[in-house]
Structure formats: C-alpha cells, structure tokens
Amino acid sequence: MAQDLDDMSLVQACRAGRPEAYGELVERCQDRLYPMVVRLLGSPEDAQDVLQDAFVRGYEKLDQYQGGSSFYTWIYRIALNLAMSRLRKRRLRRLLRFPAARSEQTPFEPADESPASVPSYSLERAEREAVVEAALGALDPDHRAVVILKDFEGRRYEEIAELLGIPVGTVRSRLHRARHQLRRRLLPLVEEEASPPIFPDVERALS
C-alpha cells in the first residue's frame, strides 16, 4: 500500500510510470506546507496557487531529487522559493503603482477607544490578529520569510540559511531588523491591558 512506502520508494515508483505515487507524496506534504505559504503570502487563494505550482514543478523536476533530504524538505524549498518570488513581484507592482507612498505609514488605523465601540472578546481578538497580519505584510519579503521560518515554525538558523540560500549571519541580521520593525508596530498592541493575546510566536519575538 502507498501509505506504507517511504518517500524515496514513492519517488521511484513515480519514475517507473506510476504517477499515482506522486499523488501520495502530495497528500503527505500539502497540509504541512500550507501554513508556511499562507503566512508568507497572507492570502489563502495565493497560497493554494503557489502550492499547486510547487507540486507541478516538483513533478517536472522529480529526476533531480536524489534523496539527500526528505521529499518534504525538497518540495518545501520549491514552495518557499515560489512564494518568495510572488511576494517580490507583488511588492514591485505596489511600488510601481504607488511610488510616493510613505514608508512610515502604519498599515492600520488607530482603534476607536470609545466605550460604545468595544467589541466582544472574539471580535477584538480577530481585529488584533488582523493587525499582526498587516504588520507582517508590511515587512520586506526577505525579512518576512525569516520571521515566519524562525518565530512561527521554530526552525534553526542553519536550517533557515540552507532553505533561503544565505549565510547564517544574514539570517540573524534580517531577523533582528524584522523583529525591530514588528516591535515598533505592535508594541502598543502588546502593552494594552486586559486585551486578548495576539499570536504567541509574535509575542515571543517582541519580548
């Protein structure tokens, strides 16, 4: 049965003319890949498109997979590169469309603090999470990637460096800058009293 085979056996089966084996690899990986891609892109629709493209590209390049790492790690790198490419293109389009936009402009409006405007707990939490997503979205794609990989996925510096193809020192410097930007945007949110918590990963980054 396909579920009893390891990744390399499924790859070899696919190379031998059994494409359904690749479908099993997709099923094993897609749910694990989705959180990373959707956090990077901030759009479920874009995340689904990138994942589909990643698996198509993986199938086309299957002969290049040598088994030095798990298939998940191999396809993860493909998905990450595609998501980063889409982020950079999106950022370029935005810059070309709004060249005079102020870099210090906040991505959200200050909340109305009047008693009549106080929402329910769940609604307030949703609003705060939207603010966090907006702050993440305002980061440069390279900085956003290291925050997602380190603070959301808990990956080691060396692993992030390998995935992004950059030195470990660059990972550390980008993470430092990204956390500084997030802290500047989100610290007032963290310091609010008696308010629902935001993402624990972000709170750790701000501490």
pLDDT digits (tens, 9 = 90+) for 125-183: 666 667 777 888 888 999 999 999 999 899 999 999 999 999 999 999 999 999 998 88
Per-residue confidence (pLDDT) for residue 130, from 0 to 100:
72
CA gap 121, 71 in Å, rounded: 42
Q: What is the mean pLDDT of residues 30-53?
A: 94
pLDDT the model gives residue 44? 94
pTM: predicted TM-score of the whole model, two decimal places? 0.72
User: Does the pLDDT of residue 78 top 80, yes or no?
Assistant: yes
Q: Which fold, 1-101?
A: Rna Polymerase Sigma Factor; Chain: A (1.10.1740)
What is the DSSP secondary structure assignment for residue 156, as one 8-state letter? -
Q: Over range 40-62, report the average pLDDT.
A: 95
For residues 26 and 93, which has the higher predicted lDDT (pLDDT)? 26
Residues 6+ apart with CB under 8 A from 152: 35, 36, 39, 199, 201
Q: Of 19, 28, 20, which Cα lies nearest the Cα of 71?
A: 28
Query: What's the confidence (pLDDT) of residue 136?
Result: 85
Q: What fold characterizes domain 102-207? A: Arc Repressor Mutant, subunit A (1.10.10)
User: What are 94-130's pLDDT values in tens digits?
Assistant: 667 655 444 444 444 444 444 444 455 555 666 666 7
The residue ranges of every structural domain in the chain are 1-101, 102-207
What is the three-class DSSP state of 169?
A: helix
CA–CA separation, 202 and 132 (whole Å): 8
Average pLDDT of the residues in 68-77: 92
> How many whole angstroms from its chain centre is CA 78?
13
The SS3 call for residue 94 is: helix
Structure tokens at 143: 């900085």
Contacts of 161 (CB under 8 A, 6+ apart): 167, 168, 170, 171
**Higher-scoring residue by pLDDT: 63, 107:** 63
